[in-house]
Structure 1
Amino acid sequence: MTLQSTMAPARHRHHPAPTAVRIDGPVWITRGTTTWRRTGIALFLAGFASFSLIYCVQPLLPAFATSFGLGAASASLALSVTTSLLALSILLAGAFSQALGRRGLMFGSMAAAAALNLAAALSPDWHGLLIARALEGLALGGVPAVAMAYLAEEIEPRHLGKAMGLYVAGTGFGAMMGRVGMGLLTEFTSWRMAMAVMGGLGLVAAIGFLILLPRSRNFVPARGVSPGFHLRAWAGHLRNPGLLRLYATGFALTSIFVTLFNYTTFRLTAAPFDLSQTRVAMIFLAFGFGIVSSSIAGGLGDRFGRRPLLIAGFLLTLAGVAVTLVPALPAIIAGIVLVTTGFFVCHSVVSGSVGPLAGATKGHAASLYLLFYYLGSSITGSVGGWFWQHGGWTAIAALTGSFALLGLILSATAPRRAGAT
């Protein structure tokens, strides 16, 4: 089947759709093979490297506020500028990967981001740090959308949910180790040295990824690609009701997750808890529940359907937000565990649903999903600072709880034929 045959024909003869020719059928990566294991480890490393670099600054937000004389909302920009530029970059990376290929683009993105994290660590002032973090977001755009497209193209469809779950588990492990590792390192050294160490680990992971990931076997480069082709592909996906529902769900997911964790750091380092940076970072070990739940959820979604898992995931998230309102540390930790588990269940399911609904231009569809996903992190993560400053934790819980309710409604009302059901 050709790429051209799956796309709507161009309306004007001087703007032909890109052509791609496949002589034989797809050669899938099958579960249980050596290639499957290499792919799983490589994509786990990609998730680890990219997400540890993105979120390593989250436990440092109070330290940035102290070091540079900032408020909570301003300090949160260290994360928000990265995810904002990441959202934009993902669109471009998804488009470029249709012509340039998947593997090399992902490696280059990982290596460049690791180097920029080192640059951020060495920056003498706040504005320089923000510039380095923004460029890091641009560089990392070549990983998430391209990884989703690679898996959708190369993995046997009946095992795609499991493979996507392994990748999401890697992102969870990276996000956890980025946060926890930074907290532990800052107990013994400066936050600058801790960021430099994280950059070095990211570079090692990038090299391991390049060695392990098999070359694409089912990817067919799109030839003669014009800007109009990309615009038509994005517009087509934005007219797909099933994909729009998934995009809105992704926005809601990160709005909840990033906002909750951003301001948990401020809540727990202030009275009456007065926890040290290291102890606050240890709370991010809750990501371990997310790593396990995302891996399991992918397989369960393949077997029993995705809609019930989405509903269960958002119910867990909503319950977790409510539990964090109890002003006791054990309750706050329990609430964070519930939110983390629910988030990773939902993200694993939704990530695995985009490709099957997308048709030929999977890179474009995945990049749009991640655009909405990271816009939720960037916009709501920063707006949450206003809620925190004016309403405290009650306002944060109301904000994140509203998004959890929105996600629950989107999941419960989805047509059964949609990709997320």
Structure 2
Amino acid sequence: MAVAAARTRRIRISLVVGALALFALLYAPQPVLPQIAESFALSPGTAALLVSAATLGLAVAAVPLGTLSEALGRRRTMIASLVSAELLGLVLPWVRAFWLLVGLRLVQGVLIAGLAAVAVAYLVAETGAAAMGTTMGLYVAGTTLGGMTGRLLGGIAGDVLGWHGGLLAVALLGAVCTVLFVLLLPAERGHRRQQLRWRPLLRGLAAALRDPVLYAPFLVAALGMGAFVAVYNVLVFRLTGPPLLVPPALAALAFLAYAAGTVTAPLAGRLADARGRVPVLLAALGVALLGLALMLAAQFALIVLGLVVFTGGFFGAHSVASGWVGVRASPDARGQASAVYQFAYYGGSSVGGVLGGLAYGAWGWTGMTAVLTCWFVIAGIGVLLARGGSGQVVSGS
């Protein structure tokens, strides 16, 4: 029993470290987008393609890599994914052509997908579904820590060393986390590899897509993440532009709001285990909406407060929704269901980030907020419609 508990702790720690590296690399350009826009004479929406390209690559590759991992092995897939993405991350700061940067970020997103798409399936198989809310909460806390640390480090380094230095600082952080991930991640025991034959693998994917209940967490992933990335993509432009004119280094401190997710993600997971997924998920979406409303203020302090509330609500919702997929999917479709969730999550990031930027450019922060509010309302309606299926599906049911 003590050995099993120690192994579970090691799995959780390794996945938290891996998630930290993943999110730091994925959103590395975000805090230095204004400097990139100025350097290449770009609009905010065009500069944001550096973020959307990576999330698009991840979204496109999530389902194929998640499906292939059933045959190649989940641990092997995750390690190869993170190591190759990190190596590319160390190259990016030295690239001087914007569209080459966009293309390489697309490739980096494809590489990262192997970890993002497989992590949930690995966690369920290796730690069990009984405390999946708590486990997923810890994993999502790792993603928030990576997002916060990467953005904060990149923003501060970028203010001193330029956007090249910002990207390099994040890549070096990712390198340390990648080494720890490879050393700590245990070999898988709870998953039996399938033969590399497309028909049975695609049957698992079809099973995940045929379950109507899973469309609720997929909807939360797509619309919630789209809204989240839209806010963070344009946040620095709003803070550093008139009338606020906040210095870039101080504006980067706003990314400390990510710390809210490290608290709310595991908390929401534990509450979902105890009280049920649907009420906790709806409450988290409501908290995110409250944060959006607070950010309508024109005062820096209120914007940061709203960002903290918004971030906490979003990551609470993401924690519950991703855990819902892990326990709802049947064991032979778990990897594919997890991959589809990641497709929705990062596809929403790519599309939502662009649409949010366009809405901000056309109608300002207030208009963008109205659009994002509609997205959260639609996600909440989807959760309500699926509330009868928020429990676990057991094998053979």
Name the TM-score class by shorter chain. Answer: over 0.9
Aligned to 2:55: 83
Q: CA deviation at 1:296?
A: 1.5
Which residue, 384, 392, 395 being the options, matches 2:364? 392
Aligned match of 1:209? 181
Deviation (angstroms), 1:159? 1.5
Amino acid at match of 1:52: A
Q: Report what 1:418 is aligned to.
A: 390
Cα deviation, residue 259, structure 1 = 0.6
Q: Which has the larger radius of gyration?
A: 1
Counterparts of 1:355 and 1:116, CA distance in 2:
30
CA distance in structure 2 between the aligned counterparts of 1:50 and 1:264, rounded to whole angstroms: 22
Is 1:141 equivalent to 2:113 in the alignment?
yes
Q: Which residue of 1 aligns with 2:314?
A: 343
Counterpart Cα distance in 2 of 1:28 and 1:96 = 33
CA distance in 1, matches of 2:343, 2:288: 22
Deviations 1:149-188 (A, max 9, x none): 1011111321221111111100000000111111111232
Q: Which residue of 2 aligns with 1:17?
A: none
Contact 2:19 2:143 in 1 (8 A): yes
Map Cα deviations across residues 29-74 of structure 1 (whole Å, 9 max, x no partner).
Answer: 85xx221221111000110000000111111111111000101110
* 2:191 is equivalent to residue 223 of structure 1: no
- Could you tell me which residue of structure 2 aligns to residue 22 of structure 1? none
Taking the aligned partners of 1:358 and 1:194, their CA distance within structure 2 comes to 40
- CA deviations over 1:277-327 (Å, ceiling 9, x no partner): 211110010111111110121122111111111111011111111111121
CA, structure 1 residues 54+29, in 2 after alignment: closer, same or farther (shift >3 Å)? farther
Question: Larger % of helix: which?
Answer: 2
Residue in 1 that maps onto 2:159? 187
Distance, in Å, in 2 between the alignment partners of 1:67 and 1:142 is 32
Partners of 1:307 and 1:420 within 8 A in 2: no
Tell me which of 394, 402, 406 is aligned to 2:374: 402
Partner SS state of residue 195, structure 2: coil
In structure 1, how many angstroms separate the alpha carbons of the residues matched to 2:323 and 2:136?
6
**Residue number in structure 2 paired with 1:319:** 290
Q: Secondary structure at the match of 1:361?
A: helix
Q: Which of the residues 301, 304, 314 maps onto 1:330?
A: 301
**Structure 1 segment 6-405 matched on structure 2, within 5 A:** 33-226=5-198, 228-359=199-330, 360-405=332-377
- 1:416, CA displacement in angstroms? 2.8
- Residues 323-367 of structure 1, C-alpha deviation per residue, up to 9 Å, x if partnerless? 111211122111111110100110000111112221112110000
Cα shift readout 1:243-293 (whole Å, capped 9, x = no counterpart)? 112211111110110011111111111001111221111001011111111
Q: Deviations over 1:214-255 (max 9, x none)?
A: 1111110002522x3343332322221111122111111101
Indicate the SS of the match to 1:327: coil
Q: Structure 1 stretch 145-154 or stretch 33-42: which is displaced more? A: 33-42
Aligned AA (1:212): L
Q: Work out whether residues 89 and 108 of structure 2, in 8 Å CA contact, stay in contact via their aligned partners in 1.
A: yes
Please give the alpha-carbon distance, in whole angstroms, between the structure 2 residues aligned to 1:57 and 1:209: 23
CA distance in 2, matches of 1:128, 1:335: 36
1:368 aligned counterpart, secondary structure: helix
Contact 2:153 2:169 in 1 (8 A): no
Name whichever of 371-380 and 297-306 sits farther off: 297-306
Secondary structure of the corresponding residue to residue 388 of structure 2: coil
3-state SS of the aligned residue for 1:275?
coil
User: Please, what is the CA RMSD of the aligned residues?
Assistant: 1.7
Task: Give the residue type in structure 2 aligned to 1:401.
Answer: T
Report how many aligned residue pairs link the two structures: 392
Return 5+ residue gaps in structure 2 as ranges.
none
- Give the drift of 1:190: 2.2
Per the alignment, in what secondary structure is the counterpart of residue 159 of structure 2? coil
Equivalent pair of 1:111/1:202 in contact (CA under 8 Å) = no
In structure 2, give the amino acid aligned to 1:156. Answer: G
What CA distance in whole angstroms lies between the structure 2 residues aligned with 1:119 and 1:229?
A: 38
Provide, for residues 92-151 of structure 1, a one-character-per-residue CA deviation record: whole Å limited to 9, x for no partner.
210111011111211111111111112211111101211211111011001112110101
Question: What secondary structure does 2:194 align onto?
Answer: coil
Output the CA distance in 2 between the equivalents of 1:216 and 1:410: 34
Asked whether the equivalents of residues 117 and 132 of structure 1 are also in contact (C-alpha less than 8 Å), the reply is no
Instruction: Specify the SS of the correspondent of 1:219.
Output: coil
Q: Spell out structure 1 runs of 4+ moving beyond 6 A.
A: none
CA contact (8 A) 2:329 2:392 kept: no
Instruction: Note if contact 1:269-1:276 (Cα within 8 Å) is conserved in structure 2.
Output: yes
- Confirm or deny: 8 A CA contact 2:84 2:111 kept in the other structure: yes
Secondary structure of 1:158's match?
A: coil
C-alpha displacement at 1:203, in angstroms?
2.0
Identity of aligned residues (%): 34
